[in-house]
């Protein structure tokens, strides 16, 4: 009589049976098959990095989720503006979406809450960068005060993406970062190798302003909201001042990503045509010329430039100008 184990149906010899090589080989094959099944399950389950506090969840053939941590001690001081890069070395072509959740809490400054950002990327080793945009789905005001979402650096030739975040000088907050990767990729790496190689790097700009980036206007969610954003008064350039009795030059970005710039200014000297310089996040995608109106109902042209400068053309001392422009930042 043949006796089988209840779970995997291994053959059990009776006390009177002789050693049977066929039974042994059959049992070994069953055990090997079941071990392979369990190994596959482990490879697609929670993977925990003991030394770096990194967690990976491979979830599908073309997707994974990975969490990373930045400790306060990882930042390079509280004097200069710094940049955090989340490096995703795909090692080849990629087309898809990378969604990142940034969270923080008190640590040097009150950067409560966080941000959720969706990055749209299309990059090919044979034809270069085709798509590089992002939307801020959600961001808390305190987080926006100390951190600036700065887009993605793409090296198409090597297939490396760096999601960039600027940190204000005084902040030294811990951050928990969840990266959700999904899309089509082509290269020598497996999905798990890509996930394993995702890492963070921090750079010191060497300057408290980071070349004029800080201080910045706090970012707001990219999608439309019912509330009208608050106006921010522009800082006027040398030789320019507000016009008494009129609202000052001011700007805001609406829920659709349109920047609205409006107000009346006048020139008191001919020192510079630059009326103001808009901060990062409010700058036009490419330089454009606009038409304004002077106080005596004459047409005045002005440029809004990629570097943020708003420059009036051919003005005379004492002339006041109505500036009213709406433009995209991408």
| Block mean pLDDT (10 aa), the chain, length 330 | 66 63 65 65 49 59 93 94 97 97 87 94 93 93 94 93 96 95 95 94 93 86 64 92 92 82 88 88 89 74 92 79 85
Q: Vertex 43, ends 38 and 48: CA angle to 5°?
A: 120
Residues 308 and 280 in one domain: yes
Domain at 278, CATH number: 2.60.40.1830
Question: What is the rounded average pLDDT for all residues in the chain?
Answer: 84
Q: Check residue 55 and give its pLDDT.
A: 63
Q: Check residue 46 and give its pLDDT.
A: 47
Q: Check residue 49 and give its pLDDT.
A: 46
Residue ending a domain, among 189, 204, 219, is 204
Residues 68 and 117 in one domain: yes
- Are the beta carbons of 278 and 308 closer than 8 angstroms? yes
CA 88, CA 33: separation in Å to the nearest integer? Answer: 35
CA distances from 283 to 199, 260, 288, 302 (A): 30, 11, 11, 15
Residues 104 and 185 in one domain: yes
Residues 53 and 195 in one domain: yes
Q: Check residue 223 and give its pLDDT.
A: 62
């Amino acid at each position: 009589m043949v006796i089988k184990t209840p779970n995997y149906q291994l053959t059990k010899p009776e006390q009177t049976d002789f050693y049977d090589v066929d039974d042994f080989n059959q049992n070994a094959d069953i055990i090997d098959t079941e071990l392979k099944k369990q190994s596959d399950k482990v490879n697609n389950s929670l993977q925990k990095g003991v030394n770096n506090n990194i967690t990976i969840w491979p979830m599908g053939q073309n997707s994974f989720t990975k969490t990373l941590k930045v400790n306060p001690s990882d930042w390079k001081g509280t004097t200069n503006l710094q940049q955090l890069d989340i490096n995703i070395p795909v090692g080849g072509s990629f087309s898809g979406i990378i969604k990142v959740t940034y969270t923080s809490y008190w640590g040097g400054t009150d950067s409560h809450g966080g941000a959720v950002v969706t990055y749209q990327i299309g990059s090919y080793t044979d034809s270069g960068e085709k798509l590089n945009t992002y939307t801020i789905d959600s961001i808390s005001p305190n987080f926006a005060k100390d951190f600036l979402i700065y887009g993605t650096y793409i090296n198409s030739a090597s297939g490396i993406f760096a999601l960039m975040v600027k940190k204000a000088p005084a902040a030294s907050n811990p951050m928990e970062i969840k990266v959700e990767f999904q899309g089509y990729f082509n290269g020598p790496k497996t999905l798990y190798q890509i996930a394993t190689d995702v890492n963070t790097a921090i750079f010191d700009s060497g300057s408290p302003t980071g070349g004029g980036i800080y201080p910045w206007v706090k970012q707001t969610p990219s999608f439309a909201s019912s509330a009208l954003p608050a106006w921010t008064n522009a800082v006027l350039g040398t030789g320019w001042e507000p016009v008494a009795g009129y609202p000052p030059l001011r700007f805001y970005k609406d829920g659709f990503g349109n920047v609205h710039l409006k107000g009346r200014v006048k020139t008191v000297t001919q020192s510079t045509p630059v009326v103001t310089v808009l901060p990062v996040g409010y700058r036009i995608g490419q330089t454009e010329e606009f038409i304004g109106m002077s106080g005596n109902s004459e047409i005045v042209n002005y440029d809004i430039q990629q570097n943020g400068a708003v420059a009036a053309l051919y003005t005379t001392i004492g002339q006041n100008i109505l500036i009213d422009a709406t433009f995209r930042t991408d």
